[in-house]
Amino acid sequence: MEKEIVLVTGGCGYIGSHTVLDLWENNFDIISVDNFSNSSPLSKNLVENIAGKKLINYNIDLTNFKDVEKIFEENKICSIIHFAAFKSVPESIDNALMYYDNNLIGLINLLKLTEKYNVNNFVFSSSCSVYGDVNDLPVKESSILGHQKSPYGKTKRMGEEIINDVAANSKSNFIMLRYFNPVGAHKSGKIGELPLNKPCNLFPLVTGVGYGRFEKLTVFGDKLNTRDGTCIRDFIHVSDIAHAHTLALKKMIESKSNTICETINLGTGKGVTILETIKAFEEIANIKLNVEIGEYREGDVVAIYSDNQKALNFLGWKPQFELKEMMHTAWEWEKVKDELGN
C-alpha cells in the first residue's frame, strides 16, 4: 500500500525544520519542499542528525506550477503544511511585488493541486500581522481585522481569504494558524534560527549582540503608547508552534464526517515589551547589551498579543515555554552556531 505523505513547504526553514522533527516524533511520513531562497541547507543536515533519518527535499520554486506538480505525480500527498513564504516586513515594504508574487502564487499553485489530487488536509502558516493595529487586546480570531501595515501582512490576509473561498466548495480540511512571534531553539540545542542575512527579528538580534556578532541593538521607538514606550509582542517558542501543526493535522485526520475550515491564534496570551524582553535576556546571559533607541519603524504594529483559548479548546494545545526559557534556548543556540561555521 502506498504511503500517505505530509508535504511540508519551507521544511528546511526555521519553523518548518522544527515542525518536521515534531511530525517525525509523531510517526508522520514527510517530504519537504525548500529552494533555500530564505533558509540554509545546513538546517536539513541538522534535522537529519537529530532524527537519525533522511529528509527528502525537492529543491524547487513553488511559483513554478509544473515543477510543483511533479511532487504530486511522484507521491501520494495526503496533507500539506504550507510555510514557504517571504517574511520580512521591511523587505516587503521595499519590494512589494516580490512578496505578492512569491507568497500568493505559491499558495494558489498548492491549492490548485490540493483540488486536483484530492489532498485531504491543508495547514496554512498565517500571522498575527493580519490584525494590524487594534484597540482591543488581546486579539481573538473573531476580532475585526485592522489595516495590515506591510505587504507581508497583506499577503497573509489575502492568503486566508483565498483559502476561505476555496474551502467553501472543497472537500478538503483547512486550518489557518496565526502565529504571533516565533522565537527560541530546539531543546536539543542542535537546531535553531539560521537567517541567511542579518536578521530582522528581535531574538536573533538580541543574542547576536550578546555574542558579539553585531555591535549594537536598535530599539525602534520608545515614545509609543505602551507601558515603557516600546512595542509590545507575544513571543511564542518555535517548538510550541511546531507541535500545534501536528495537533492540527491530527484534528483534521480524526474529523471523518465534518469538513473543517478554522482560523486559530498561536501565542502565549502575554504581551511583553521590547525593553522587557531585552532585560530578560540580560538576566539570563548576565550580559549588558549595547542598546540604541532609534526612530519608530514603518510597518511595525505598536502592540499585539493573543487570546489563545481557541487553540486550547479546539486543538488541545497549550504553550510549554515561558519567556526566560525561550531566551535560554535562543542563547544556547547562539553559542553553538560558530561550531557549525555560521
Catalytic site positions: 152
Q: What is the 3-state secondary structure (H, E, C) of the chain?
A: CCCCEEEEECCCCHHHHHHHHHHHHCCCCEEEECCCCCCCHHHHHHHHHHHCCCCCEECCCCCCHHHHHHHHHHCCEEEEEECCCCCCHHHHHHCHHHHHHHHHHHHHHHHHHHHHCCCCEEEEEEEHHHHCCCCCCCECCCCCCCCCCCHHHHHHHHHHHHHHHHHCCCCCEEEEEEECEEECCCCCCCCCCCCCCCCCCHHHHHHHHHHCCCCCEEEECCCCCCCCCCCEECEEEHHHHHHHHHHHHHHHHHCCCCCCEEEEEECCCCCEEHHHHHHHHHHHHCCCCCEEEECCCCCCCCECCECCHHHHHHHCCCCCCCHHHHHHHHHHHHHHHHHHCC
Cell reading at 339: 561550531
